[in-house]
Amino acid sequence: MAFITPHKFIFLKKYKNKSFNLLDVGAGSHSATKTKAIFPQCNYYGIDRTREYENDEQDFKSMSGFYQMDLTALQFDEIPNDFFDVIVMSHIIEHLENGDKVIEGLIKKLKSGGYIYIEYPGLKSTKLPSMKRTLNFYDDKTHVRIYSVNEVSTILNTNNFEILKSGTRRYWPYIVLLPLTLITETIKYKFVPGGVFWDLLGFAEFVFAKKK
């Protein structure tokens, strides 16, 4: 629901009315405009393979910068090191065979004291029923690798991060409002999208960490 703060941002309340640099890895689906609505003073920078993934002129006006690149190439030189206060990687690494190396490359861009949020489908998602718009990991044919809290946390710990919060995403506002969401999403799509059940059934895992 549009009036609920997305789970990826609930740990960033301190930045609500502050200026900060945010790097959004996967900047489609009007993410810049949506993010600026929550953090109006943030300097939003996005990364994506294409400029055309559900973005419009208003989205690009909301951005302080946009990096068009293939993450798997691991060529991040144009992105400044030690520059960002926050990096968000929400449902990105499952599309990458070398998502671990991508994380290692991008955390160099984060300032000391900065935060990173990483979210992805967990192993449990491989055992959930299949639905349109993805409830089972394999519903999305672009999913190529399964990651775990332990693997992602180990990468971050090895690179001088403190894990602040991690586990299965079960965001209670989405669960409480599930009956209403079922109605509105069915009207919108003419079917029930699998994503409405993610929090109830534990589809996704996340790691939130601070760079020391």
Q: Which of 96, 118, 117, 91 lies closest to 198 in space, CA to CA?
A: 91
Tokens 């090895």 — which residue? 158
| Cα atoms found within 13 Å of the Cα of residue 23, Cβ hemisphere only | 27
Q: The whole model's pTM is what? A: 0.96
Catalogue all structural domains in the chain, each as residue range(s) with its CATH number.
Answer: 7-171+202-211 (3.40.50.150)
Q: Give Cα separations from 123 to 66, 87, 126, 150, 204 (angstroms).
A: 32, 24, 6, 12, 9
Per-residue pLDDT of the chain (212 residues; tens, 9 = 90+): 557 999 999 999 999 999 999 999 999 999 999 999 999 999 999 999 999 888 999 999 999 999 999 999 999 999 999 999 999 999 999 999 999 999 999 999 999 999 999 999 999 999 999 999 999 999 999 999 999 999 999 999 999 999 999 999 999 999 999 999 999 999 999 999 999 999 999 999 999 999 99
